Structures are given as structure tokens and as C-alpha cells.
Amino acid sequence: MGSFQLIEYSSRDGKGYRRIKGKETLEEKYEEFLIMMLNDIIPPLNFIESYDRLNSIERKINQYHEGRIHNLEEYRKYQMEIWEVVKRENLHRDIDFTHKMMNANFDKFLEVLYGYLNEIKHTTIKAGPGVLLKQLDEEDLINMILHLVRLPIGDIPGLYDTIAEMRGYNYHQLVRNRGRFCPTEGKTYGQILDKINYLGKELITVFANEKFDKGKGYLICKAFFGREIHRIIKVMDYIADQLVPYLRKAYLDGYKMLNDLEKGVVSPKTFEECLRRNTKSWSFHEGFNGSGPSMILTKNGWEVGKRLGETLLNTFLQEEDRYPNAIAIILLGMSSFCRQGEDIAQVLYLLGVKPVWDSNTGQIYGLEVIPLEALGRPRIDVIMEISPCFRESFPEAMGLLDLAVEMVAALDETEEENYIRKHLGQDIHSFLEKGETFDLARTYSLYRIFGCRTVADEMAIGRVMETGQWTRCKELGDNYLEWSGYAYSRNKKGVHARKLLHRRLKQVDIVVQNTSCRERDILDRERFYQHHGGIGNAVKSISGKAPKMYCGDSSNPFYVRIRSIEKQLKFIFRCRVLNPHWIESIKKYEYQGALYFSKIIDYVFCWDALTNCIDDWMYEELAHHYIQDEKMWEWLRKYESQGLFPIVKKLLEAVKRKMWCPEPKTLQVLMEIGSGQINRKEACKNDVE
């Protein structure tokens, strides 16, 4: 068995828990996945509930609506005031509105703006890192419960839609139309959501004060809602009987995991449905395994994956007025564990294929082609990039996807109806011209699954970005091709196919990566920019044109979202990176918090280097919040090597690489700190000598 060094997440190298040596045995792979889970422990969660800079806009919008209701002429003055604040905060860039568009339809502008602000306010964000062997305190426990019961779980109704129903509203309609003003109510749908969410938190807080006593749940609901409380009682019983016990014992599983690693014996177990669907995943030790056939794709996962596919195509169709020739999608292992195969379902749906389940076992036993008449569109070519974890954990899924590609390629359809056949014919012709046999040419032409070589487990592009050993974006694209240029199928593993991947990426119009939870986002881990940003950069360097970069969000499976990478990053900035409440929550973790802040800046820089998706104002805000703010400056000075100097160094590197043109005052501050860093190091060196 492998030998392990368990390094706390707060270590100075920021790597968390890691294995330092060992053989490539099956047991060791399970050990690797356990360590991944240690590094992916669910963090404490919190709700934004807005902050001053966004609150000021929301207040003006509410004043505007109140003025309209009471026929006050002065309400029109708020139009320009709202626009001026929006422009000052650069929010018009988030929602794609110009001054001309605002003037042409102010009510529509206001609806989109308020809806966006309300979504930010109701977004769950992490309030710190996950800490092994630590129980949640009362406030964190309440927030976690609210997060977990916000949506239906099996036959347990969702908390918020149950409260909405008792108040005479359709919760999902409110969510879809947050910014819409309802004249009969005299408020926006978002304001109604505010009250529902507030009532939900009050309910759970009172329940917590009663120690989640199931017997008192009925009395609490009766006091809050009066009659017709049978549905809300089901939620309360579920919290008392299942959810709270799991959350309270989850930290004990850390002891079991560490004990297993110490003994060198790790048993694979069936992986249960994850956070969003089933709280048993909170038992980290019991909830770990490899993947069995029933875990490849569930029926719920298929429905959500279909919605992701439909929303993705509709978004592109609206922007480009055509269907994409090919889509590149990233398949990550740990995400797939938690998402019931939604990404796999999305790939199948884009190809125009659906799974067939055994009614007794719930396992997939085959695939069925969706007729073009039912599909209502062409079959889209899909290129899949798999992570090492996905490769080792989901061999059945890889076989299923490879089979789906072959089935679609064999259909008697035209090139306009079937983009796989269109590209297949072109590829076979190219290989035949090079002297390959027809069988070999067809085999190569059917490859759609790519990843690193079978013995690799770390993406090289991350090391290049960390060391700064690159001068042009094309170098990063070449690095990605070199790392990910290995093809996989049912019969072949890790066939060197860099030139074939080059050809595939030249056809790509869309690069997409999906997430399903609020515990992680694309500024949380290197793997997001490495895979998503890496493949996007490679497509641009090959074709000369940047692909559409999208993020899928199924955290609410009833209302899946597709955002561009630019909008997703702006959304994350508003939710937490620029959020003073979030910044204060991270500062509680002292030097570990400083290290985390510096990592955030690193990830922002890497995303920009790979995709050119960070605006100048975003860099300015980073400099303002993390360097120029007096309180933050004083705090970071205590952790210079973990936070202050790395942040300044990365911001100055962005300036040097012409990724950002800072304001003169901002540049002066950064240069002064940067030069001070050099002098400090030289002084330390002289002292040693």
C-alpha cells in the first residue's frame, strides 16, 4: 500500500491532503479518491443577504416602484439615479444593457436588474473551508439545513415551495421572474421571495432552539401557519429524523477515513446519491466508492441533463442563429459522483440518444436512438475531455458514451441532420489520403473521448501557469494539446492522438462545464480553469476564433441555467469575491484565509490568461478590496508571505502581461508594495550572510 503524508488544508503549500508515494494498485486508487474527498469536505455555507453597494441600488428600485404606485411624478427622477449607480458599479456589463437600451425599455431594464440582484442575494456561498473533525456551530447548522431542504428530496417537499404554496404562490414561477413587478401585490416577485426565505429561516431557527425535537415541530408549524400544515410537517420530520443526525455525525467519518488511510485498507462501497438529492452523502466514509452500473446515470439525472442540453442549444441558437457544429464538454470525476450522471445525460441528449433502464434493477442495459422527428434538430457532435478521476472511476460511462457515438455514426442520415456523420466522412477521407486502411481510418475518426495518458494525474498547464513560464497564449494551447492528446474508447485506452484532438477542436463552437452545487465554483479549484479554460484556449489557438464558453448550473434542477464564462465570473465576484461579509468570514481563518485570498487572485489571473474574460474594472476592484482598503491592508500585513505579497505579485504580473491597464494611483500603490517586497527579501538575505 502507498505511504501517506496527511497535510492539513491550512498548510503553506495550499495543497491540502496528498499522497506522496505508492504503487498504482486498485486499492491505492481508492486511497487517492478518499484523499480527494478529504480535500473536498463540504464547507460551512451562508446566505449573502446582500451588502451595502447592492442594497443602495435595490432601495432606489423600490422607491421607483412605490412612486409609480402612488402616482408621484418624482418617481421618474429615480431612473437616472438608478442608471448612474448601476454604471458606477459596472452592473450594466453583468446584465448586457447599454444606456440606449435602458432608455428604450426602462421597465425591462429594471426587471432584469432587480432579478439579478435578487438572485445574488439568495445565493448560498461558502463561509470558509471545510474543516475535518469539526462539527458545525448552530448558525452554520441552520444555514446548512436551509440549503439542503430548499428543494424536494424524493417524496419530501422543498421548504420554500411549500411555504410559497401556503401563501398562495408558485415558488418556481417566482424564481423564474424575480424582477417582475406585480401591481396587485405592490411589490416584485423577488420581494415576495425575500419574505418566503425569511420565514423559512425563522421557522428553522425556532426549531433549532427546540433542539430539533420532532414532537415540537407540529406546534411550531401550527404557530407559524395555522391550518393545512401536513406538507411542511413532512419537511420538519425529515430534518429531525434524518438530516440533523447525519450532519451531527458527519465529522466522525473523518476519523474513520483517516483510520483507514493509516491502516492502508480502504474498502470500496456503494456511493449514495449526493448532497443535493440525498443527505446520506454527508456520511463521507460510507458515501465513498467506485461507480457501479446503477450510478452511471439515474432517471432524475437524465431529465436534468436533457434540460441542460436544451438550454445550452437554445442559448447558442439565440446568440448565433444556428446550431453548433461541435461541443466540447468537460467530465470530472468528483462532480460526476455527486450529480447522478447529468453531464453524461447531456452528452447523450446532444447526440440524440437516450438510455434504457431495467425496471427491476434501475441499471442501464442499453441505448436507444431518438428519432429526428422527436428530436426536432440535428444531432450535435460532442467531444468529451475526461479528468484522471473520471477515467478511473467511470469506465462503464466511458463505454456507454463511446457506444452512443458509434450508434449515431451508423445512422442513415444526411450531414445536415447528423453532424457526427458529417465530420466522420471528412475524417475518414483525410486518413485514407494518408495511406491508412479503411478500418483504421474509421476507428480513429470515431474517437470522441480525450484525456491525459493513463499514468498521468496532474494537468501540466497548471504548472506552467504557476511558474509563469509562458509568453504567448498559443504556448498554453500547445501545452493543453500535449497533455490531453490521448484518445479513449471501449477497446482502447490512452491512444496518442494529439493531431486528431487538434482536428476535433478546430470544429468546436462551444466549450461547456457544468456544476450542481454552491459549495464549489470556478474560482475555487485549479481544475476548473485547467480543464475549461485550457480547452477554450486550445480551440482559439487552433481555429483563430474563441469558442463560446459556457457554465451550466443545475444547483436548482427545476431551473437550470447556462451562463457565459464572463457572466459567471462576474456573478461570483458579486456573490463573494467583492462581498465584505464573505471577506470577513474568510479572515477568521487567519493565515489560511490569507492563503485562500491569494489563491482566488491566482485563479482570476489564470482564467484571464486562458480566456481573456476578466475586465479591467474587476482587477481594479480586486486591488481596491484586497490591497488599497485600509482595514484589509492592516490584516494582510500580518500574513505577508501567504497573502499580501503573492496578491501584489500576481496583480503586477497581469499588468506586465498587458492583461490589465490599471489606474495610475492603483499602479503606484502596487509598485511601491512590490518594490518593498524585493527590498525586504534582499535585507533578509543580507542579514543571513
Cell triple for residue 255?
476519523
457 pLDDT above the threshold of 70: no
pLDDT value for 43: 74
CA atoms in the 13 A half-sphere facing the CB of 449: 29
Residue 64 has pLDDT above 70, yes or no: yes
The one-letter amino acid at 96: D
Q: Tell me the pLDDT tens digit for each residue of 402-412.
A: 999 999 999 99
pLDDT of residue 23: 38
- Distance, CA of 547 to CA of 562 (rounded, Å): 15
What does the block give as the cell for 670? 502596487
C-alpha angle 25-7-133 in degrees, rounded to nearest 5? 100
pLDDT of 458 reads 62
Give residue 39's pLDDT: 56
What residues contact residue 551 under an 8 Å CB cut-off, 6+ apart?
512, 513, 514, 515, 522, 532, 562, 563, 564, 565, 568
Residue 131 pLDDT grade (very low, low, confident, very high; cuts 50, 70, 90): low
Nearest 5°: the CA angle 501, 377, 338 is: 60
pTM of the shown model: 0.88
Q: What are the cell numbers at 437?
A: 486502411
Residue 114 has pLDDT above 90, yes or no: yes
Angle at 117 between CA 111 and CA 123, to 5 degrees: 130
- Within 8 A by CB and 6+ apart from 139, the residues are none
| 231-283 tens-digit pLDDT | 999 999 999 998 898 887 766 666 666 666 666 554 443 233 334 444 444 43
CA atoms within 13 A on the CB side of 268: 12
Query: What residue type is assigned to position 314 of the chain?
Result: N
* pLDDT the model gives residue 398: 93
Q: Are the beta carbons of 403 and 366 closer than 8 angstroms?
A: no
pLDDT for position 502: 95
pLDDT, position 257: 65
R_g (Cα) of the chain, nearest Å = 26
- Give alpha helix (H) positions in 325-394: 333-338, 342-351, 372-375, 388-393
Listed range (249-258, 272-281, 422-431, 581-590) with the worst mean pLDDT: 272-281
Residues 204-222: tens digit of each pLDDT: 999 999 999 999 999 999 9
Q: Give me the pLDDT at residue 46, please.
A: 79
Question: What's the residue count for the chain?
Answer: 689
More confident residue, 283 or 662: 662
Question: Stretch 574-578: mean pLDDT, rounded?
Answer: 93
Q: Which residue has the cell 442513415?
A: 412
Residue for grid cell 434493477: 361
Query: How many Cα atoms are found within 13 Å in the side-chain-facing hemisphere of 280?
Result: 11
With beta carbons less than 8 A apart as the criterion, state whether 583 and 593 touch: no
Helices 395-409 and 342-351: angle between axes, nearest 10 degrees: 10
Label the pairing between strands 449-451 and 353-357.
Answer: unpaired
pLDDT of 6 above 60: no
In order, the DSSP letters of 165-199 are HHTT--HHHHHHTTT-EETTTTEEHHHHHHHHHHH
Predicted local distance difference test score (pLDDT) of residue 29: 53
Direct distance between the N- and C-terminal alpha carbons of the chain, in angstroms, rounded to an integer: 45
303, 414, 424, 431, 493 from 408: Cα distances, Å: 21, 12, 11, 20, 21
Please check whether residue 485 is in contact with residue 535, taking contact to mean a CB–CB distance below 8 angstroms. Answer: no
Nearest of 340, 344, 317 to residue 329 by alpha carbon: 344
For residue 436, pLDDT beyond 70: yes
Whether 422 contacts 415, CB under 8 Å: yes
Strand-pair partners of 450 = 385, 487
Nearest to 496 by CA among 530, 450, 438: 450
* Residue 285: pLDDT over 70: no
pLDDT at 75: 72
- Separation of alpha carbons 186 and 200, rounded Å: 22
Q: Give the Cα separation of 126 and 679 in Å (integer).
A: 37
